[in-house]
Amino acid sequence: MIFTFHFNKSLNVEKFAKHASHYISHYFDREITYHLYINKYKLACQILANENPTNERQIKFEILEVERNDEGHIVGGKTIMPLVNNTFKDISYITQYYQSDRYGMLSANSTDYILEFIYNITKILNKIEKLSAFI
């Protein structure tokens, strides 16, 4: 299952949190993917299937920089490699989950922890976006 949320104007995650809380806690046996767009960034979170609801869930994620046309439509993008990217390499909250350049991995056994992690990453991306406007 793939779901998409856009946070272009504000970082109101209430609708996402309600949706994700339900799906993550009820569908252990299915892979759930969220594409979260935060202005010029995309956070792709893949919550892997797990047959046993008492075990940890594995979350694979990547951060992309999206390119938009004049109307705001996405026309392209590129994967950000936080371990070598100057903007991200000193943000330990993100880089601690990366073993390779492209994907980060996280293990969690609680829906609340997964949601908190995703929310924290979206906040970081939103702050980076706002700071880059001043540079």
Pairing of strands 41-47, 32-38: antiparallel
What confidence score (pLDDT) does residue 125 get? 92
- Helix 14-26, helix 111-132: angle, nearest 10: 150
Alpha-helical runs (H) found in 60-110: 92-95
**What does DSSP assign to residue 91?**
-
**Side-chain-side CA neighbours of residue 5 (13 Å):** 22
What does the alpha-carbon distance between residue 122 and residue 17 come to, in Å, rounded to a whole number? 12
What does the alpha-carbon distance between residue 66 and residue 109 come to, in Å, rounded to a whole number? 31
In the numeric block, which tokens belong to residue 125? 């991306």
Residues shown for the chain:
135
What confidence score (pLDDT) does residue 96 get? 92
What confidence score (pLDDT) does residue 6 get? 86
Closest CA to 59 of 17, 109, 93, 131: 109
Give residues with Cβ within 8 angstroms of 114, minimum separation 6. Answer: 20, 24, 47, 57, 59, 106, 108
User: 52: domain range?
Assistant: 2-132
What confidence score (pLDDT) does residue 30 get? 85
The residue ranges of the chain whose pLDDT is under 50 are: none
State the total domains in the chain: 1
